[in-house]
A and B are shown apart, each in its own frame.
Chain A
Amino acid sequence: MKYFAWVRERIGRAEEEIELPADVGTAGELIVWLKGRGEEYAHALERDRFIRVALDQRHVRHDAPLSGAREVALFPPMTGG
Chain B
Amino acid sequence: MIDVRLTGEALDLAEAAARLGDDPDTGAIATFLGLCRGETGRLSALELEHYPGMAEAEITRIAESAMSRWPVRGIVAIHRFGIVKVGEPIVFVAARSSHRDAAFDAVRYVMDFLKTEAPFWKREHLVDGTVGPWVDATDADERAKARWA
Contact = CB atoms under 8 A, between A and B. Distances in A.
Interface centre among A4, A5, A76 (most CB of B within 10 A): A5
B51 A73 contact: yes
Interface string A68-81: 00000101111111
A73 B53 CA distance: 12
Question: What is the interface of chain B mostly: helix, strand, loop, or mixed?
Answer: mixed
B130 to A, nearest CB: 15
Contact of A5 (B57, B115, B134): B134
A54 B54 contact: yes
A62 interface: no
A11 B134 CA distance: 15
Contacts of A59: 58, 117
A78 B117 contact: yes
A6 B79 CA distance: 21
Given A4-B121, A57-B53, A81 B90 contact: yes
B34 A78 contact: no
Given A79-B122, A81-B91, A81-B114, A4 B34 contact: no
Contact of B34 (A5, A6, A57, A81): A81
Given A6-B134, A79-B135, A81-B111, A73 B54 contact: yes
B129 to A, nearest CB: 19
Interface of A: 2, 4-6, 54, 57-59, 73, 75-81
18 contacts: A4-B119, A5-B49, A5-B134, A57-B58, A58-B54, A75-B121, A76-B121, A78-B117, A78-B120, A79-B121, A79-B122, A79-B134, A80-B115, A80-B118, A80-B119, A80-B120, A81-B34, A81-B114
